[in-house]
Structure 1
Amino acid sequence: MAKGLWLVTTTVTNPAFAEYVEAFQPWVESVGGSVYAKDMEAETVEGKGGKLGVIIEFPSKQAAIDAFNSSEYQELSKLRWANSTDTNITIIDGGVTH
Structure 2
Amino acid sequence: MSTYYSVLEVTPTTDAWVADYIGPANKLVAQYGGKYLARTDSHERLEGEGENPALRIIIEWPSREAAVNFMNDPEYVPHLKARTAGSVSHHALVEAKDDLA
**Shorter-chain TM-score above 0.5:** yes
Q: Which structure dedicates a bigger proportion of its chain to helix?
A: 1
The SS at the match of 1:71 is: coil
Structure 1 gaps of 5+ residues are none
Taking structure 1 as the reference length, what is the TM-score of the superposition? 0.78
Give distance in 2, aligned partners of 1:8 and 1:25.
15
Count of matched residue positions in the alignment of Structure 1 and Structure 2 = 97
**Greater CA radius of gyration, 1 or 2?**
2
Give the equivalent residue in structure 2 for 1:12: 12
The one-letter amino acid paired with 1:9 is E
Identity of matched residues, %: 28
Structure 2 contact 24–76 (Cα < 8 Å) conserved: no
Structure 1 contact 8–53 (Cα < 8 Å) conserved: yes
Root mean square deviation, CA, Å: 2.1
Structure 2 gaps of 5+ residues are none
Listed one character per residue, the Cα deviations across residues 38-70 of structure 1 (whole Å, up to 9, x for unaligned) are 221433553565220000111112321222233
The one-letter amino acid paired with 1:89 is H
Taking structure 2 as the reference length, what is the TM-score of the superposition? 0.76
Give distance in 1, aligned partners of 2:22 and 2:28.
10
